[in-house]
Amino acid sequence: MSIALESKSLFRVVLRRSFPHKKLIVDYLYQKKYMSFDLQAFRQLNISRARNGFKCYDNQPLTYWTTALAGEVGELCNMIKKMERVSRGGIDGGSSYTAKDINKEMLKEEIGGIAIYLDLLASLLDIDLQEAMVDTFNEKSEKYGFQERVESIR
């Protein structure tokens, strides 16, 4: 399968079957709430909020941002650890919340925080996050012989 990013909202998914001369091309639009999401536009808002709202962006060392990112990942991991422990008969204990308190919204918030900090870190390193994701995805697919590729159309 290969996905070509044709615009902010339109993607072409090309599913290649093992049958000769056959391929299925499916064009579709994301749901309306995702149509206008653009990583580059988000980055500008993210930097502005960090710099002007939180008063920290390029005035902090990179370790500040790696620690922030690790903290968000750690919080997500702790939630999942508690859920797994309880699902296997362990106690439902914890300092500020228990496994029964964890819901999809809490997990979503941690995953969102991870993405926000990752974007800020990438911006400080002058790395285009979308390009990094596409390149890494394709390199791993190539390395392991997988068919899935993302073709960025710019």
Give the CATH number of the domain where residue 124 resides: 1.10.287.1080
Rounded to whole angstroms, the Cα distance separating 75 from 114 reads 10
Q: What pLDDT sits at residue 23?
A: 36
Tell me, yes or no, whether 45 lies in a domain: yes
Tell me, yes or no, whether 60 lies in a domain: yes
Tell me, yes or no, whether 101 lies in a domain: yes
97-107 average pLDDT score = 94
Tell me, yes or no, whether 66 lies in a domain: yes
Contact yes or no for 114/72 (Cβ under 8 A): yes
Parallel, antiparallel, or unpaired for β 2-5 and 149-152?
Answer: parallel
48-56 average pLDDT score = 96
Give the H/E segment covering residue 25.
strand 23-29
Tell me, yes or no, whether 91 lies in a domain: yes
State the total domains in the chain. Answer: 1
pLDDT above 50: residue 12: no
Q: Is 74 helix (H, G, I), strand (E, B) or coil?
A: helix
Tell me, yes or no, whether 69 lies in a domain: yes
- The confidence band for 54, taking pLDDT boundaries of 50, 70 and 90, is very high
Check residues 37 and 145 and name the one with the higher pLDDT: 145
Rounded to whole angstroms, the Cα distance separating 90 from 38 reads 42
pLDDT above 60: residue 1: no
Per the structure, the complete domain to which residue 102 belongs is given by 38-129
Tell me, yes or no, whether 142 lies in a domain: no
Tell me, yes or no, whether 135 lies in a domain: no
Check residues 17 and 106 and name the one with the higher pLDDT: 106
pLDDT above 80: residue 109: yes
Tell me the percentage of the chain whose pLDDT exceeds 90: 68
State the chain's mean pLDDT as an integer: 81
